[in-house]
Amino acid sequence: MIVYGLKNCDTCRKAVAALEGAVLCDLRAEGLPDAVLDEALARFGAALVNTRSATWRGLDDRARQQDPRSLLRAHPALMKRPLIAAGGRLWLGWTDETRADLLG
């Protein structure tokens, strides 16, 4: 199980601690593999971009008009977190639904 997020994100750390055997892949240091990004965009679309983040607020209007893939490649911290990959499936966010699915 891989948790894609940021090492300094409290929510990502909570997810890794709760999920036995989970490994954190830091988006800033390691990036998001193209195949995972493509699958996440196909499943979650523009919802993958966190428009509430400080990074988003710091972007100008021109940058905000880019497609989600380009935005996330240029600004990895813009991705909603965590993105969890396990058993060929993806979950976005550490929500009640995600916890129920993964923790039983």
Active site residues: 9
15: nearest Cα among 29, 30, 5? 5
- Provide φ and ψ at 11, rounded to 5°: -65, -40
Per-residue pLDDT reduced to its tens digit, 48-78? 999 999 999 999 999 999 999 999 999 999 9
Q: What is the full per-residue pLDDT of the chain (104 aa) written as tens digits?
A: 999 999 999 999 999 999 999 999 999 999 999 999 999 999 999 999 999 999 999 999 999 999 999 999 999 999 999 999 999 999 999 999 999 999 98
Q: What is the largest CA-CA distance in the chain?
A: 43
pTM for the full model?
0.92
Relative to beta strand 83-86, strand 2-5 is antiparallel
Asked if 85 contacts 4 with a C-beta cutoff of 8 angstroms, the reply is yes
What residue ranges define each of the domains in the chain, with the CATH number in brackets?
2-103 (3.40.30.10)
